[in-house]
Amino acid sequence: MQRMMDMDQLTIRRHIEEGSTFYLDILGKSEHMKTEQFPHYTIIRPKKGQHGGTSIYNIKIDHLPEAEALRLVQEIKDHKEHIF
């Protein structure tokens, strides 16, 4: 029973992540926003002279060796922006 509950929580988490990535991808296509794609994450931010929030999302580090993942975590934190 516990295994089934864990599976349901993983499914819910995956749907939340997919939905938020979809939403942020669309937001990044707005005329006042720009998207910067890095190898393991994406940043959306307002274009110069525009107003809006900045978010880092679509973070993909699970497959990386631990040292590289830790380096990327620090790189992402160093941006000092909202992380989703």
Entry pTM: 0.80
**In 10 A of CB 45, how many CB atoms?**
18
**More confident: 2 or 61:** 61
- pLDDT, one tens digit per residue, over 27-77 is 999 999 999 999 999 999 999 999 999 999 999 999 999 999 999 999 999
Strand order in the sheet with 82-83: 33-37, 42-46, 55-57, 82-83
Q: Which pLDDT value is given to residue 5? A: 55
The ranges assigned to domains in the chain are: 2-83
| Distance from the Cα of residue 18 to its chain's centroid | 10
pLDDT at 3 over 90: no
Q: Which pLDDT value is given to residue 8? A: 84
